[in-house]
Amino acid sequence: MNTTTITSSTADPIPIERLSHYDPAVHQRVQEWLASGQLLAWIPILSQENFPDVPPQILQFADRYQAAMRWPIHRPEDLLALPEGITGWLLPADADDTDVACGVWNGEVYILGVRDKRTGRPQSLLGERFDVATGQADDPKPSAI
């Protein structure tokens, strides 16, 4: 496995281990966000996978209030304070959408792109992946993660 390091203006270097499903575009984008020192936000993904004991209708209701659930990430170390075992969206605090997910398992931070389990298509916080160059969405309706 390849190893690299992310540095930010406010923190010591953070070691990064590239896993088999490593996505260089996601890695580069997150590295740029962290290096810029901008405020990031983490929003829990309200799914049965993350919250198996919560009824689906409650998760759907809570999902309408995602904006209120933004967890501020001021520096890379803040990622380690995320709730263990819960996947969430990671994005610049002033952004509305992202296709980057983040979670902590066994004290390690994992950052990854998100794909629909049924279709394999890229997904985003808003439910579909929008291509700025073509003005087209990958999928005309949101898909569950």
pLDDT in tens, 65-97: 887 899 999 999 999 999 999 999 999 999 999
Task: Please report, for the chain, the start and end positions of each structural domain, with discontinuous segments joined by +.
Answer: 3-137
Give the three-state DSSP class for 13: strand
- The pLDDT, as a whole number, for residue 20 is 53
Tens of pLDDT along 16-40? 565 556 678 888 899 999 999 999 9
Closest among 88, 110, 105, 104 to 41, alpha carbons compared:
88
**Per-residue buried b or exposed e for 45-69, using 16+ beta carbons within 10 Å of the residue's own CB:** bbbeebbeeeeeeeeeeeeeebeee
Return the pLDDT at 23.
76
The pTM assigned to this predicted structure is 0.72
Can you tell me whether residue 136 is helix, strand or coil? strand
Write the DSSP symbol of residue 81. Answer: G
Q: For 43, how many CA atoms within 13 A lie in the half-sphere containing its CB?
A: 25
Rounded to the nearest angstrom, the gap between the alpha carbon of residue 29 and the centroid of all alpha carbons in its chain is: 11
